[in-house]
Each structure stands twice: as structure tokens, then as C-alpha cells.
Amino acid sequence: MKYYIIAGEASGDLHASNLMRALKKSDSQAEFRFWGGDLMQEQGGEMVKHYRELAFMGFIEVLFNLKTILKNIAICKEDITRFNPDAVIFIDYPGFNLRIAKWAKEEGYQTHYYISPQIWAWKENRIKAIKRDIDHMYVILPFEKEFYEEKHNFPVHFVGHPLIDAIGQKELPDLPAIKKKYQLDERPIIAVLPGSRKQEISKMLEVMLSITPEFPDYQFVIAGAPSQDKEFYAPFIKQKNIKLIMNKTYDVLSLSHAAMVTSGTATLETALFKIPEVVCYKGSYISYQIARRIVNLDYISLVNLIMNREVVKELIQDDFNTKTLKKEFKKILEDENRTRIFKDYFELEKKLGGKGASEKTAQLIINAIKE
């Protein structure tokens, strides 16, 4: 069968690649055409565009790049028509994907959405488009099933969170080899995860690294995003106890004692590695002012949202500064706080529904096509 998959971010590339692997196990004739990244490319098929060309962040940034976005939408529609897939599969990325879904549904393609848009946070009115344009929805957060089915009378499949599988499949790194390769010493490692887009990295990394002189007994390792070049990070590395490891985030986390993490999927990944963390976020002034008026959430990190309480500290916008970050980071290095965080992390993992998200979703998609 033929599958057309659209992922617009690094996390989508990860989840889509695991879904592709699962689809191939159950469908030996699987053909793929996709918008995504390097991990999807490793699974075979034809890439139309890399997510690096699609990543526009924030209200103002999207407005400035509207012409490019509309051009990409037109290209995508034409490409789907030429490929004529048995199913179009959307991976999060709702601003783009819901536009394509409306067209695809009208054209008679079977539409599947894996990794639900976070309409429970904002733009809840998108439920109308989802109910109209999406044939099958696969959700990965436990509260999403209740949100869709009880609040909006739209049946969905809760398949569990794919990060559990992605992390479980990861082999433990060779610590001595990594230390030698990247010239790391014996001090405990602090992971620095500043995001994957240039815009957010530029806003986050300088403040994150500003606290390093206060912690000489630790070494800080930046987890470089696969969507960026090594040279992009060079201007931020001004102290000797800072290293950069490119495209090896899970290796960095598996070696780390604590972490500073930009809000996003990485906050949940860090928690599943059982690494105490401080969650950070800072956007452009205008985008933040708009967001705070329309986003209806008590928390921004997936960890706290799933647990419905503060498990990890969140430093947002003006609270994200050197003084406050240093204060909160000291707390997660204390044994008493670390013990509490570890207990919360184990409870979090139980809530996420166990292993096999990719396999469950793949089988549901194949069954739907056959039916």
C-alpha cells in the first residue's frame, strides 16, 4: 500500500520514522512519500521537503513567511495527487496539516492523524475541522481521549506514547568512548537542550549557558539539534566547561545528572530518562503576549500537563533569566528534591500507557485501509 506522510518538526520526524518502521513490518509492499527529516529518510521512500524548510515559529514569524507557506501547501497538494496514496497520514504540525486534510478529504483520500494537534491548549474550535476532515485520530496523551470523546463526541484511539518505545529501543552509550571523543572529564554532566529551531535556540541558549560559571564542579553539554549545523552553536560557547555533541540527544541525556530544557517534546524525553530538569521558554514579545491571552493552560511542559501538577519547574518569558535559572537549578541538584522528582517521573511513565504505540497505530491504519 502507498502512504503519504507529513511531519513538520524534529519530533514528528522521530515519531513518523518509527511508524514507518512498524508499517513495513505489517505491510511488506509499503511505499512511502513524505515531508519530514533524516530519520524518515532512513526508512526509505521519497522525501519531498525537509522539515528545516517548514519550521516557522510564532505568530509574527508565520505572518512574515506566509507566501512560502502557501506555496508549500500548493506543492503538497499537487504531489499527493501524483502519488495517489491509499492513506494520507498527518503527524502533529496542525497549521499546515489541517489545511491539507481539508483538501485531501474532499478529494476522497483516507485521512489519518497521528499525534493530535494540541487543540486542548488553544484553538479548540479546530475540532470542527478535525471532525469534518479526519477519518481516524490516534492520540498519545491519556487526557486526550477524554477530551475528544466526552467533550466533543469524536471517537479516537489512545495508542500510548511513542517516546516510550523510542527510548526503550536506544542502546546505552559507551561512556568511556563518548568521554574520550568529546574530551569530557569525570565531572557530572548537565544537559542543555535549547530546542531545534534557530529562533528558539538564539533566544534560549545564551541565558542557559550564563549560569555555567556558578557550577564549576559540573560540565555542560549542549545537545545539538539535527536540523542545525555545528557552526551555528559556536558563538554561544564561551566557557571551557561547555561542550557540544551534535545529533545525539539521547546519548547526552543517558549520561546526564540534570538538565535545562526548552519547552516541547524534549521535556517529556528528559523525564522518561529520569533526569531532573528545569523547563525554559522565551518567545518574541508580541508572540508571547498573543499566546498568553489565548492559551488556556496552567502549565507549558508535557510533564506537568500529564500529571496535572507541578513536577518540574517552568521558567517562562521574563522569569527565564540568569538569576532565577541559577536559583531553580540549584534546587534540582539537591538530593531531597531529586528523590521527589524521580518518584513523580515513575508515576508519569505509568500514565503514558506502556509500549507499542507505533505498532498499534500502524495496524489500525492498515486495518482501516483494508476495510
On whether the pTM is more than 0.85, the answer is no
Q: List, run by run, the mean pLDDT of 10-residue segments along the chain (371 residues).
A: 94 92 96 96 96 64 66 95 98 93 98 94 92 98 94 96 84 78 91 91 93 95 91 90 92 95 93 97 68 71 94 95 97 96 94 91 97 88
At 292 the pLDDT is 61
Residue whose C-alpha cell is 479516537: 156
306-330 residue pLDDT tens: 999 999 999 998 999 999 999 999 9
At 238 the pLDDT is 85
What's the one-letter identity of residue 118?
A: Q
> Which grid cell is 12?
514528528
- The total of other beta-carbon atoms located within 10 Å of residue 247's CB is 13
Domains and CATH numbers, the chain: 2-160+356-370 (3.40.50.2000), 169-351 (3.40.50.2000)
Could you tell me the maximum CA-CA distance found in the chain, to the nearest angstrom?
A: 61
At 168 the pLDDT is 78
At 66 the pLDDT is 67
